[in-house]
């Protein structure tokens, strides 16, 4: 079973379609790069994968669980315990190092750090 499986995922904002039938699988341990020109839907796809947004159509499963069907509370739990999402330049705490900023969600999630 793939870790991430998206099938025919699309996203609409009103009458504007941002993603069209996006399909791929990511196996555990794989490294994937999402690239494309500005406005091509990269951030929208990442927001769906990070459970910050929902697809308008298609299916997104993570380790067999249908993330698109999660309630708001289940999505928050998913973000807290099962997937990491680090913003490029958003909400970083200037008094912490880069590593400490990355570790902070794990601290709040109750994970023990080495």
- % of the chain with per-residue pLDDT over 70: 91
| Average pLDDT of the segment spanning 18-46 | 93
Q: What is the pTM of this model?
A: 0.78
State how far the Cα of 42 lies from the Cα of 46, in Å rounded to an integer: 6
pLDDT for position 20: 95
| Average pLDDT of the segment spanning 22-26 | 96
Residues of the chain with CATH 3.40.50.300: 4-83
Architecture of domain 4-83: 3-Layer(aba) Sandwich (3.40)
| Average pLDDT of the segment spanning 27-53 | 92
- For the stretch 69-110, pLDDT in tens is 999 999 988 988 888 766 666 677 888 888 888 787 777 777
Residue 4's DSSP bridge partners are: 26, 62
């Amino acid at each position: 079973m793939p870790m991430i499986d998206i099938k025919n995922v699309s996203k609409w904002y009103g009458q504007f379609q941002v993603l069209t039938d996006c399909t791929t699988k990511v196996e555990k341990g794989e490294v994937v790069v999402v690239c494309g020109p500005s406005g091509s839907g990269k951030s929208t796809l990442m927001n769906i994968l990070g459970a910050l947004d929902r697809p308008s159509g298609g299916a997104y499963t993570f380790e067999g669980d249908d993330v698109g069907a999660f309630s708001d509370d289940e999505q928050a739990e998913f973000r807290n315990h099962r997937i990491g999402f680090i913003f490029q330049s958003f909400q970083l705490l200037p008094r912490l190092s880069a590593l400490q900023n990355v570790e902070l969600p794990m601290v709040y999630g109750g994970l023990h750090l080495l």
